[in-house]
Amino acid sequence: RIDRRRAGEWLQVPWREVRGSRWLVIGFGSIGRKVAALARPFGATVVGARRSVAGATDLEAADAMVTMEGIAEEMPLADVVVLACPLTDETRGLVDAEFLSALRDDVVLVNVSRGAVIDTDDLLAWLDGDRAATAVLDVFDVEPLPEGSPLWKHPKVVMTTHIGGAGSGMASRNDNLFIDQLATFLAGGTPRLGVQG
């Protein structure tokens, strides 16, 4: 679609809204919780996944929580799967052909974790199949990504070059401002920096 727009073709296509979507956030540490905090006010249902939910004090950050062993039941239900887990022996290669085959054909798979969490060859083979899935990647198993990597030109891949949190404190400030503004608005107040008129 982006290439067609750049070619000057006027496209009006339906797009999926965040409202009513179901997100599976694998890795529910500070980044995973931030993803949930940003998605939920827009009407997304967020299921967080972590190694253990016993004794966790942040369970209210998600609509539901599952352990890593419980993600198999959630995978085919998710519109968006966000990988925010650390790279460990257990998560290296987590997203392989078997994992991908359990996802919806129109899923959006986002990796803000580490590149080696995804088996790149399996991801490419899966994306090349007859499905409308999209991979949004900020990290790669080899960085910088080699010039000849098929990820660069793949039509179902959106990439950033490991800059998802770029800027000295910028992301943190922007996130905090957005959350504060949205909370003020949802509480019936007037956001401090709202667009006037």
Which residues are catalytic, by number? 114, 143, 162
The label of the residue with tokens 């887990």 reads 85
Type of residue found at 36 = A
- CA 154/CA 134 separation, integer angstroms: 10
28 contacts 50 by C-beta, under 8 angstroms: yes
- CA 197/CA 191 separation, integer angstroms: 14
17 contacts 40 by C-beta, under 8 angstroms: no
Distances (CA, A) of 146 to 82, 90, 152, 162: 24, 26, 9, 14
Order of strands across the sheet that contains 80-83: 64-67, 45-50, 22-26, 80-83, 108-111, 134-137, 157-159
H-run or E-run covering 24: strand 22-26
Those residues whose C-beta lies under 8 Å from the C-beta of residue 77, and which sit 6 or more positions away, are 22, 24, 104
